[in-house]
């Protein structure tokens, strides 16, 4: 018995102020039937963070690129606590213990 996976994917343009969207049926990762008219210009942009953005047209993609939406964002850095931070935290814990009696 073969296992077939059927699913429907909805594509929504991420262009600012653009509400275009369409759905496609897939059977085992392959689109079924003809894609709807008007999505011939659909494109996906992937930035250096691995994030993907979908757009219905070059105009929507360009506006997003110019706004910096695709720019590489450094992940937040973990800052190690200083000795002063540890001292402040200890004082806060001591105060809590004191207040609870
Ligand atoms: Zn769009």
Condensed to tens digits (0 to 9), the pLDDT of residues 5-15 reads 899 989 999 99
pLDDT at position 1 is 66
Residue-range domain boundaries for the chain: 6-73
In Å, how far are 40, 47, 65, 71, 85 from 74, measured between CA atoms?
A: 33, 12, 17, 10, 25
CA 67 – ligand 1 centroid, Å: 15
CA 6 – ligand 1 centroid, Å: 27
Condensed to tens digits (0 to 9), the pLDDT of residues 48-66 reads 889 999 999 999 999 999 9
Distance separating alpha carbons of residues 3 and 13, to the nearest angstrom = 32
Distance separating alpha carbons of residues 43 and 56, to the nearest angstrom = 7
Residue predicted with more confidence, 55 or 37 = 55
CA 74 – ligand 1 centroid, Å: 27
Beta 21-27 vs 6-12: how paired, if at all? antiparallel
């Amino acid at each position: 018995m073969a296992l077939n996976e059927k699913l429907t994917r909805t594509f929504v343009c991420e262009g600012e102020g653009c509400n275009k969207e369409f759905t496609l049926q897939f059977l085992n990762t392959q689109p079924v039937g003809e894609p709807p008219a008007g999505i011939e210009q659909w494109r996906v942009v992937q930035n250096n963070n691995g994030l993907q953005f979908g757009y219905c047209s070059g105009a929507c993609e360009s506006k997003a690129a110019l706004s910096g939406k695709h720019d590489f964002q450094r992940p937040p850095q973990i800052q190690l606590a200083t000795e002063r931070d540890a001292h402040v935290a200890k004082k806060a814990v001591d105060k809590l213990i004191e207040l609870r009696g």
